[in-house]
Amino acid sequence: MQKETLCLGLLSLGPRSGYEIKQMFEGPLSDFYSLSFGTIYPTLNNLQADKYVSCKQHSQSKKPDKKVYTITKKGMELMKDNLLSDASSYIRSGNFGDQIKSEFFLLLLFSKYLPKETMDTVLNERVLYLRQKLEQFKYDGPVPGNLDAIRNEKSVSFIRGLASSLIETGLNYMEKNRHLLKEKTK
Amino acid sequence: MQKETLCLGLLSLGPRSGYEIKQMFEGPLSDFYSLSFGTIYPTLNNLQADKYVSCKQHSQSKKPDKKVYTITKKGMELMKDNLLSDASSYIRSGNFGDQIKSEFFLLLLFSKYLPKETMDTVLNERVLYLRQKLEQFKYDGPVPGNLDAIRNEKSVSFIRGLASSLIETGLNYMEKNRHLLKEKTK
DNA sequence: ATTATATATATCATTCTGATATATATACGC
DNA sequence: GCGTATATATATCAGAATGATATATATAAT
């Protein structure tokens, strides 16, 4: 999916600044996709130049102006069109996997070259991290206003449920099977 | 993890050409990490220049020579050193998540802007794809000589078991809960 | 008092991907 | 037997994206 479509999609949930869009990518969304500042800011500028979003500057003495972007009608149309062609090409491509870079799995793969205490720490920390993630996905209390809109999306409850079951499965598997990694060759 | 360490790690399983390393990234490894030709070939050239790998050219009349790289002692040492410092900085960094770009989850997130038949196809194809992946991870028969070494790694049986349980969980969840996505707003 | 973190945008070198170029063998349908 | 597609094999490079840095200040923590 193009960065433009993605930014428009997030802005369709409500007006936001570039900084706030980045915050969305650092929240629960980070587990599925992310964009950096170096991508977000230029994209917003381009979208504004082409009238897909409008921008209101909120002066904040001495801090840089906060630029709050609102999606326009033209922007909504572009987003929907792009989304449809993205879905079509996703289907046509036949590539339904996700693009993943997992340092954890590489360390696992080469664990025989690592001291077993090191690998033990890696696993422990991963477990701790996953427990934390699980809590986040299950947490149903209030969230910062910023992230509220995305939280209330219908599809998000489906996604949160899916993520929770996956993490639970991963944790159970690791607790039951991590002893397998200890049988080292030499 | 640096591309150099990763290539050395794969070469530690046995001598291989750049093309064959790429094949490993297209097999089951693709679900955890991948590198493109544009990264693999220059990396191998650099590793060779610095004597971390040696290279034997196998002439194949009219096809480009097949360059088979073998990791040297110096290369093994560098790999182990790098692996250790990678593990340490992985632990220190506190970032235990994987880097993921999932077109599928983005389409889910914005599914309310898509016709429900389109989203239905997306889900069906994803299910088909995951069933196929599951079979691959569970498959215990012979594999091409190329991929045999990685298959026989101790850690790989742990990883395959983990991947299989995760996919099964995902499939079950999707089958039980996909109706939730059909309740569309408007 | 000092350090760290949060807000806020912008830019850019370095890195990586995805596509393309080159060249041939083999398999497949018709 | 003929065209098409796929597999083998390396190399290069334009374009895209990241991660770091610059700038500036307020606030919270130690």
pLDDT above 60 for B172: yes
Nearest to B79 by CA among A114, A182, A120: A114
The verdict on residue B167 lying in a domain is yes
Which residue is nearest to the C1' sugar atom of C20, using CA? Answer: B38
Residue A59 confidence (pLDDT) above 80: no
Task: Give the pLDDT mean for B78-85.
Answer: 96
The 8-class DSSP code of residue B62 comes to T
The range of the structural domain enclosing residue B148 comes to 103-181
- Euclidean distance between CA atoms A56 and A69, whole angstroms: 7
Sign of the Cα pseudo-torsion (B3, A163, A95, B160, in order): positive
Q: Which of B106, B129, B151 to mutate to test the interface with A (most CBs of A within 10 A)?
A: B106
Distance A118 CA to C21 C1' (A): 46
Distance A26 CA to D24 C1' (A): 23
Q: Where are the alpha helices (DSSP H) in chain B?
A: 3-11, 18-26, 37-49, 73-93, 103-109, 116-138, 145-151, 154-177
Number of inter-chain CB pairs under 8 A, A vs B: 215
Dist CA B10 CA A9 (whole Å): 40
Q: Does position B185 have pLDDT exceeding 70, yes or no?
A: no
Q: At what angle do helices B3-11 and B37-49 cross, to 10 degrees?
A: 80
Q: Is the pLDDT of residue A186 over 50?
A: no
Residue A157 has pLDDT above 90, yes or no: yes
Residues B115 and B76 in one domain: no
Residue A23 confidence (pLDDT):
96
Chain B residues inside the 8 Å CB shell of A155: 108-112, 181
**Structural domain includes residue B26:** yes
Do B6 and A106 make contact, defined as CB atoms within 8 angstroms?
yes
B101 touches strand C (CB under 7 A): no
Residue A148 domain-assigned (yes or no): yes
Question: Are B137 and B60 part of one and the same domain?
Answer: no
Task: For chain B, state the CA radius of gyration.
Answer: 21
Q: Report DSSP state, residue A52.
A: S
Residue B72 has pLDDT above 70, yes or no: yes
pLDDT above 70 covers a percentage of chain B that reads 95
- Report the percentage of chain A scoring pLDDT > 90: 81
Q: How confident is the model at residue A96 (pLDDT cuts 50, 70, 90)?
A: very high
**Residue B169 scores a pLDDT above 70:** yes
Please check whether residues B137 and B72 belong to one and the same domain. Answer: no
Angle at A138 between CA A136 and CA A140, to 5 degrees: 95
Q: Is the domain of A38 the same as that of A82?
A: yes
Angle at A30 between CA A41 and CA A37, to 5 degrees: 15
Separation between the CA of A84 and the C1’ of C29 (whole angstroms): 35
Does the residue A123 lie in any domain? yes
pLDDT of residue A40 exceeding 50, the answer is yes
Residue A61's pLDDT is 64
Q: Looking at strand C, which nucleotides approach a protein CB closer than 7 A?
A: 7-13, 16-20, 22-25
Q: Above 50 in pLDDT, residue B175?
A: yes
Of B59, B93, B127, which residue sits at a domain end? B93
Share of chain B above pLDDT 90, in %: 82
CA of B103 to C1' of C18 (A): 17
Closest CA to A156 of B112, B118, B123, B120: B112
- Give the one of A31, A150, A181 whose C-beta lies nearest to B155's C-beta: A181
- Residue B153 resides in a domain: yes
Query: Quick one: pLDDT at residue A184?
Result: 55
pLDDT tens-digit readout, B52-67: 999 999 876 666 689 9
Number of structural domains (chain A) is: 2
Kindly tell me the burial class for residue A145, based on how many C-beta atoms sit within 10 Å of its own C-beta (0-12, 13-18, 19 or more). exposed
Neighboring chain B residues of A181 at a CB cutoff of 8 Å? 154-155, 158
> What does DSSP say about strands B53-60 and B63-71: parallel, antiparallel, or unpaired?
antiparallel
Strand residue runs (E) in chain A: 53-60, 63-71, 99-101
User: Residue B41: which CATH number?
Assistant: 1.10.10.10
Residue B142 pLDDT level (bands cut at 50, 70, 90): confident
* Mean local confidence (pLDDT), A17-44: 96
Contact A107 B87 (CB under 8 A): yes
Select the residue of A86, A97, A166 nearest B169 (Cβ to Cβ): A166
Q: In this predicted structure, what is the pLDDT of residue A60?
A: 67
Flag whether pLDDT at B41 surpasses 90: yes
For residue A1, list chain B residues with Cβ-Cβ distance below 8 A: 103, 106-107
Tell if B36 CB is < 7 Å from nucleic strand C: yes
| Cβ atoms of A82 and A2 closer than 8 Å | yes
Q: Is the dihedral of CA B15, B21, B26, B31 positive or negative?
A: positive
Q: Is residue A43 over pLDDT 80?
A: yes
Assess if residue B135 is contained within a domain: yes
Residues of A in contact with B84 (CB under 8 A): 114-115, 118
Query: What pLDDT band is residue B105 in, cutting at 50, 70 and 90?
Result: very high
Residues B130 and B172 in one domain: yes
Query: A70 pairs with which residues across the strands?
Result: A54
Top-confidence residue, A186 or A107? A107
Check B96 against A125: CB less than 8 A apart.
yes
The answer to whether B80 touches A110, Cβ cutoff 8 Å, is no
B98 falls within a domain: no
Residue range B144-166, pLDDT digits in tens: 888 888 998 889 999 999 999 99
Q: How far is the CA of B62 from the C1' of D4 (A)?
A: 22
3-state secondary structure of A56: strand
Strand nucleotide closest to residue B22 (CA to C1'):
D9
Same domain, A89 and A124: no
Kindly identify which residue of chain B lies nearest to residue A183, measuring between CA atoms: B154
Give me the mean pLDDT over the A57-77 stretch. Answer: 87
